[in-house]
Chain A
Amino acid sequence: MSNSETTPGVVPGRLADAAYKSNFDDLYGPLDAHEAVVAADRCYFCHDAPCVTACPTSIDIPLFIRQIQTGMPKAAGRTIFDQNILGGMCARVCPTDILCEGACVREAAEGKPVLIGRLQRFATDTVMDSGAHPYSRAPSTGFRVAVVGAGPAGLACAHRLAMNGHDVDLMDARPKLGGLNEYGIAAYKAPDGFAQAEVDWLMQIGGITMRTNVRLGRELALSELQDDYDAVFLGVGLAGVNALRAEGEEHDNVHDAVDFIAELRQAPDKSKIPVGRDVVVIGGGMTAVDAAVQSKLLGAETVSLVYRRDQAQMGASEHEQLHAASKGVRIITGAAPLRVLGDGVVTGVEFAYTEQGPEGLVLTDNTFHLKADQVFKAIGQRLDEAPGGLQLDGSKITVSGAGRTSLPGVWAGGDCAAGGDDLTVTAVAEGRDAAEDIHATLMGQASVAAE
């Protein structure tokens, strides 16, 4: 190891091997059986519990926690999976501080919620570690459904459809299934190949045929899918990234944060990933925070995250922000990039402080500049290109009800669909609900045809 945290430029191997291992290891780790029972004992089994309302997939949280408390973690896992087949991933990645745990009455009582996320992981791990898949398929309906995009939305949709007896073709442009579970989520949230293990476990339901490396708009056309299948679900996420629209954006070592993160997730050896000595991340969401934290974990000496609005408006939850700060990321809010400095290769970024004007955010004359040898842009993703003929709502697909698009027989859910937060758990809920709506629609058609 010849490089260190202070080596100039964008270089790999800034840290000792052991540091990479511990930096990218499981952030919180599993609860052991004793810890789980102690944590479960704190649940009050609330009436019409606020945590359930706060969960986008409406998991019956008091019930599953009581099942853990009474020594039945597998039954607890089943309670979770009934509502959320990706309950294992959600247990690891959900911003629980703004979802279930934020609503926990013990948060109100003592500022210390029941550890719902970690209990969920305990229960789902127990089921998944047993290897068995707890669901089986209903008798075949003979219907065929195309699910495009195998992120959380597509996976949840495909599983529920298969369970209801439909045959599913699950297609994705990438070589691996999982969407951002595989290519986006911070490495330390789902280490040890959890995303693929979860996909494999979920596929045990049967009735789902996978097709990877096929892209809607290239190998696939929506109109053909409509002709070939009884229904189509689109869960293509947001493959495009927003441009900075600042001078100098084209300099070397200015990257899209999502690409950096995807590369990082796929790298078996993190010491091979080059990272700058002085890293600047532009943005305020989960992507920005993850890019910043992971740059630091790769050994960058300084990492600054700059967000143009105030802290309260950051997409990343307070817990995520605190985590970033604890890893040494400096968070600057209320500043927007004016120009990326450099001569072919980036050397810094010039920012202006912002102010809330009557017409929106305005730049002030107060500027500053940050040294940078690597810059990550994380100012939001958008639909790459809208599959032909679909009505859009801004940059997302317009949906009504349980994900019905403007085209008959076509449903959409997850990040690509308008409305809802861009979260894994929301994508799962939307995929599941679309599947039930597709099921009801197809079965309704079948009974009309039979009459």
Chain B
Amino acid sequence: MADLSTDFLGIKSPNPFWLASAPPTDKEYNVRRAFEAGWGGVVWKTLGQDPHIVNVNGPRYGAVWGADRRLLGLNNIELITDRPLDVNLREIKAVKRDYPDRAMIVSLMVPCEEQAWKDILPLVEDTGADGIELNFGCPHGMSERGMGAAVGQVPEYIEMVARWCKQNTRMPVIVKLTPNITDIRYPARAAKAGGADAVSLINTVSSITAVDLDSFSPEPSIDGKGSHGGYCGPAVKPIALNMVAEIARDAETHGLPISGIGGITTWRDAAEFIALGCGNVQVCTAAMTYGFKVVQEMAAGLSEWMDEKGYASIADFQGRAVPNVTDWQYLNLNYVAKAKIDQESCIKCGRCYAACEDTSHQAIAMSDDRVFTVKDDECVACNLCVNVCPVDGCITMEQMAAGQTDPRTGQVVSDDYANWTTHPNNPGAVKAAE
């Protein structure tokens, strides 16, 4: 059996699955039940200064659904904890005492003044917590008060606050990043420059999930008005994966520990984040959708996959995908593939045909008796048919072997690697050759 335990900044947990700072970690009752269900650690719901903030008294969430009303994206206008600081601190201490083997991280958000941080850090240390996470990500409510994303969008502030924290506590410091910025590498570099031990990402993405077509209010609607919220859940996973990869392969931040967050719903999602360099993962929406029990599927699935692949520990595959993330210009233009439709598993829905015929390359033929076949002389291997086919594995992309002639271009497939930088159509490449 694979060893799922992790050591992240010296913080040990029996598995890499932590609950992200959010409602699931807002109180002792929840966190105890989460640990009983098997979560490896939690990042406690973000603490702030007293007097504690208040939340709206109407709907906080909006959503986007897929078929069968499966929740694909959730958005919220909730703020940080709305309970008094001392209540939270007391509960954190009690839970940590009873679950010494689980990771207990405390998320913090106080104003951008050194004294505010100096005041709160010893209180957290006193709970016996294993580390802190700086919430520089919340995109609503707190950012208007100069906290959360308002800090996370300014690299200089990130660096400054991270440094204050490092100077005022012995606990490891994780900086949680907001995705609501153009280039995630800048805040990550700033966190590292400030001395942060790790970054975690992503927090939620600014969003409006829907507009009520009777009242013309954005959702979720509070008395006829709505405000942008933070988007999370399966829909944001691709955004998060990309940002994680950017940090993992950036020369300046390469090697900086990362806690991956954003849309992690299954063991497979978690494995992907870890393959892109994360030391562990955090989950919010999946738990809010299905309850704490989902961690059991995640842990069992990850373990089984690791056994199948022969990975004894998380470190064995951590970061294995990072070297394979490259820039478009370095992709091999001599790699040629063609779509192939397996007639055995084809159910003849014709969606590949509609997609390719109407919107792509007219590379699928349809016979009178609904047999769908790929025209190799038209197929550009774009993958759209694979993506719209309802049957997993029915359409595959088959690489053409070197020496074969691509019927579309008439050119012989070469096994030499050649990319855009040297391509004759690239004005830059032509210049270089002159």
Which positions in A face B, CB cutoff 8 Å? 37-38, 41-42, 44-50, 105-106, 108-109
Q: Are A47 and B68 in contact (CB under 8 A)?
A: no
A38, B70: Cα distance in complex, Å: 11
13 contacts between A and B (CB under 8 A): A38-B69, A41-B68, A45-B351, A46-B349, A46-B351, A47-B350, A47-B354, A47-B366, A48-B350, A48-B370, A50-B348, A105-B349, A106-B347
Instruction: Name B347's contact: one of A37, A42, A105 (CB within 8 Å).
Output: A105
A108 touches B348 (CB 8 A): yes
The distance in angstroms between the C-alpha atoms of A106 and B348, with both chains bound, is 10
Q: Chain A residues near B354 (CB, 8 Å)?
A: 47
Could you tell me the distance between the alpha carbons of A38 and B317 in the complex, rounded to whole angstroms?
Answer: 40
A109 in contact with B347 (CB, 8 Å): yes
Since A49-B350, A105-B348, A108-B348 are in contact, a sample of 15 more A-B pairs with Cβ atoms closer than 8 Å, ordered by chain A residue number, is A41-B67, A41-B68, A41-B69, A42-B67, A44-B349, A46-B349, A47-B349, A47-B351, A47-B354, A47-B366, A48-B353, A48-B370, A50-B348, A105-B349, A109-B347
> Is B84 an interface position by the 8 A CB rule?
no
Chain A residues lying within 8 Å of B366, measured Cβ to Cβ, are 47-48
Which residue of the partner chain, among A37, A44, A47, contacts B390 with CB atoms under 8 Å? A44
Instruction: With CB as the reference atom, state the residue of chain A lying closest to B354.
Output: A47
Binary interface profile of B, 346-385, with partner A (CB < 8 Å = 1, else 0)?
0111110110000000000010001000000000000000
A37 to B350, CA, bound (A): 23
Q: Chain B residues near A50 (CB, 8 Å)?
A: 348, 370
Let me know if B67 and A109 touch, CB within 8 A.
no
- Contact indicator A47/B353 (Cβ below 8 Å): yes
Residue among A37, A42, A44, A106 making CB contact with B351, cutoff 8 Å: A44
- Cα-based distance from A216 to B410 in the complex (angstroms): 72
The residue in chain B whose Cβ has the minimal distance to the Cβ of A37 is B69
Binary per-residue interface labels of chain B (379-413) against chain A in the complex, 1 for a CB within 8 Å, 0 otherwise: 00000000000110000000000000000000000
Alpha-carbon separation in the docked complex, A50 to B348 (Å): 9
Chain A positions within 8 Å of B350 at CB level = 46-49
Instruction: Tell me the complex Cα distance, A12–B354, Å.
Output: 59
B residues within 8 A CB of A47?
349-351, 353-354, 366
Closest Cβ neighbor of A34 among chain B residues: B69
Assembly CA distance A44 to B391 (angstroms): 11
* Closest chain A CB from B30 CB (angstroms): 30
Give Cα distance in the complex from A109 to B354, angstroms. 19
The answer on a CB contact under 8 Å between B347 and A108 is: yes
Instruction: Please name all residues of chain B whose beta carbon is closer than 8 Å to the beta carbon of A46 when the two chains form the complex.
Output: 348-351
A41 to B66 Cα, complex, angstroms: 9
B372's nearest neighbour on chain A, judged by CB, is: A47
Bound Cα distance from A37 to B65, whole angstroms: 13
Q: Which residues of A contact B349 (CB under 8 A)?
A: 44, 46-47, 105
Chain A residue with minimal CB distance to B353?
A47
**How near does chain B come to A78, taking the closest CB pair, in angstroms?**
20
The 7 closest A-B pairs by CB, nearest first: A47-B350, A47-B354, A46-B349, A105-B347, A41-B67, A109-B347, A105-B349
Minimum distance in angstroms from B311 CB to a CB of chain A: 34
Contacts of B390 in A (CB 8 A): 44, 109
Instruction: Provide the residues of chain B in CB contact with A106, threshold 8 Å.
Output: 347
A50 to B372, CA, bound (A): 14
Q: How far does the alpha carbon of A300 sit from the alpha carbon of B391 in the complex, in Å?
A: 48
In the complex, residue of chain B having the shortest beta-carbon distance to the beta carbon of A46: B349
Whole-angstrom distance between the alpha carbons of A45 and B353 in the complex?
12
Instruction: Give the interface centre of B68, B348, B391 by most chain A CB atoms within 10 Å.
Output: B348
**Chain A residues with CB under 8 A of B69:** 37-38, 41
**For residue A109, which residue of chain B has the nearest CB?**
B347
B365, chain A: closest CB distance, angstroms: 13
Residues of A within 8 A of B351 (CB): 44-47
Residues of B within 8 A of A38 (CB): 68-69
Taking the closest CB of chain B, its distance from the CB of A53, in whole angstroms, is 9
Set of chain A residues within 8 Å of B353, measured between Cβ atoms: 47-48
Complex formed: what's the CA distance from A42 to B67 in Å? 8
- Residue of B347, B349, B370, B391 contacting most chain A CB atoms (<10 Å): B349
User: Which residue of chain A lies nearest to B65 when distances are taken between CB atoms in the complex?
Assistant: A41
CB distance from A370 to the nearest CB of B (A): 45
In the complex, which residue of chain B has the Cβ closest to the Cβ of A38? Answer: B68
- B287 CB to nearest A CB, Å: 25
Q: Please give, as numbers and ranges, the residues of chain B lying within 8 Å of A49 by CB-CB distance.
A: 350
Distance (Å) between the CB of A272 and the closest chain B CB?
47
Q: Which residues of B contact A48 (CB under 8 A)?
A: 350, 353, 366, 370
A110 to B: closest C-beta gap in Å: 9
Rounded to whole angstroms, the CA-CA distance of A255 and B348 in the bound complex is 47
Q: Closest CB of chain B to A26's CB: distance in Å?
A: 26
